Amino acid sequence: MSLSATPLTEPDPAADSAPDPDAGARTPLTPSTLRTIVRDLAERPDRWVHHVRLSTEERWYRRLAGDEDHEVWLISWLPGQSTGFHDHGGSRGAFTVALGELEELSLGGPDQGLLIRRVPAGTARAFGPEYVHDVRNTAVGPAVTLHAYSPPLSSMAHYDLRAEGLVRTSMEGPEQW
């Protein structure tokens, strides 16, 4: 399945106000609210730092909290670890780098091509339900991030970046997390 090569590169203004019809009766939290959640949590390391683990095999992750509205994940990254291009199954989201530094790749449309952003500690990124990106640790040391999604993640698709744009290669659900 080939997708348009123009996913959102910044928070979708409509995502802050329009309810997602697939989200059930509850209105998803906005990307802006999710950004606030991860930033506030990052400023309280006593609530999460004792959970951090480093894995040489793959990124390590742990769900810290969740309810009907949203969920929060803690992820650690060693140098060279990445997500590959992926979506969030229609959920809105935000992440902040609590420790270290990451790099985020996304497509910026036909006039911009591939966008590469450095995401140092203290930086938060928020996005709407159609956002596709690749997050990676290109630094020399580990990194720790906090992520929030609303509604909670129900699936994620993975993509390859090809000349014609992003092509979906696989799907995964909560049973793989």
Query: Are 137 and 120 contacting, i.e. CB atoms less than 8 angstroms apart?
Result: no
pLDDT one-digit tens code per residue, 37-96: 999 999 999 999 999 999 999 999 999 999 999 999 999 999 999 999 999 999 999 999
38 contact partners, CB below 8 Å, separation of at least 6: 72, 94, 95, 96, 124, 146, 147, 148
Q: What was the pLDDT predicted at 48?
A: 98
